[in-house]
Amino acid sequence: MHIPDGFLDAKTLALTGALSAGGLAVAARQVHRTLPRNKIPLMGLGAAFVFAAQMLNFPVAGGTSGHLLGGVLAGVLLGPGAAAIVIACVLTVQALLFSDGGVLALGANIFNMSFIGAMVGCAIYHAARKLLPGLRGRITAIFFAAWLSTVLAAVTCAGELSLSGTLPPEMVFPAMISVHALIGIGEGLITSLVILAIARTRPDLLDAETAPAARGTGWEFLAFGLVVALGLAIFVSPYACAWPDGLDKVAEKIGFAGRATTLIKTWIPDYKMPGINSMGIATAIAGAAGTLIMFGLACLVGRVLVREKPVSDGAVENRRR
């Protein structure tokens, strides 16, 4: 659902850019106030995994593919503010290095996937969680939130296309919602399976917001997660479905795909490392590079945003005891 440049007009780009900038400022303040420093590596791991997973397009129907958005996954692990920052980092790297999503449309993509996909998705999860106790209820709530957040992100994308005059609303809304209702099922299944695996191995990570003093990510878990993300990027991404994703398929079917433009020359266009003849190896190297870049960038952003909290005299005295 990465909107390229050329699909949206100037007023929509300006509006979504302003909303995203303001939303990221609020998210950064929330991360600064609430995220423990020992969760910073989890931001890096979340960004690396989402980036790698987004390279793995899966077939849906009618020659259409989908891929993980990752907002609910990041939100469950990190909280809504940190999740929005993580997804924004992923989208920025994808636009600037891989030509995936427009540079001018970055604000719209951040609004759709960071705030609708992650923050609204996280709110849906917490609301459903109150009605569904236990691990089975948690996984059900995660599936529902991931599915619904995908559909809602498609609704906002359709609204932006309509506001820009690219397509009339009676045409774009049904087209976007119908295909992303199917893609959302894949989103829900992937997110649920990942969270279920974490719940079986490191359940404390799922209570990061309610238990900020919990032990850190753990180097073993961090190393294992990074190896998994690199494995997906190196060994699985070259075999991802080559069909167009939901937005691209709608653009091809309705006839506005030709409006897409590329404003800057990127380092690794279309996730293919330049200078390598083998497409599989070029994709694998590009995926590995992007995964490592995402891990480092998200950790760096986390360290900038999350400063050491001042320790009170009472806390110092307790430590001495």
Domains of the chain (ranges; CATH) run: 10-306 (1.10.1760.20)
CA atoms of 62 and 68, how far apart (whole Å)? 19
Least confident range from 11-15, 133-137, 182-186, 232-236: namely 133-137
275 Rama class: left (phi>0) / alpha (psi -120 to 50) / beta: left
Say if residue 316's pLDDT is above 60. Answer: no
Q: How many CB atoms lie within 10 A of CB 259?
A: 14
Q: How far is CA 286 from CA 69, 86, 249, 273, 274, in A?
A: 19, 20, 24, 5, 9
Residues paired with residue 66 on neighbouring β-strands, in sequence order: 58
Residues 150, 183 contacting (CB under 8 angstroms): yes
Q: How far is CA 226 from CA 196, 240, 321, in A?
A: 18, 20, 38
CA atoms of 66 and 132, how far apart (whole Å)? 28
The top-scoring range by mean pLDDT among 56-65, 206-215, 303-312 is: 56-65
pLDDT band at residue 307 using 50, 70 and 90 as cut-offs = confident
What is the length of the chain? 321
pLDDT band at residue 61 using 50, 70 and 90 as cut-offs = confident
Q: What is the mean pLDDT of the chain?
A: 92
Q: pLDDT, tens digit, for every residue of 284-305?
A: 999 999 999 999 999 999 999 9
Q: pLDDT, tens digit, for every residue of 87-106?
A: 999 999 999 999 999 999 99
pLDDT band at residue 230 using 50, 70 and 90 as cut-offs = very high
DSSP state of 117: I
CA atoms of 147 and 1, how far apart (whole Å)? 14
Say if residue 309's pLDDT is above 80. Answer: no
pLDDT at 204: 86
| 220: exposed, middle or buried (Cβ count in 10 Å: 0-12, 13-18, 19+) | exposed
Place of tokens 């469950």: 76
240 Rama class: left (phi>0) / alpha (psi -120 to 50) / beta: beta
Extract the tokens encoding 262: 């590329």
Say if residue 212's pLDDT is above 50. Answer: no
CA atoms of 180 and 242, how far apart (whole Å)? 17
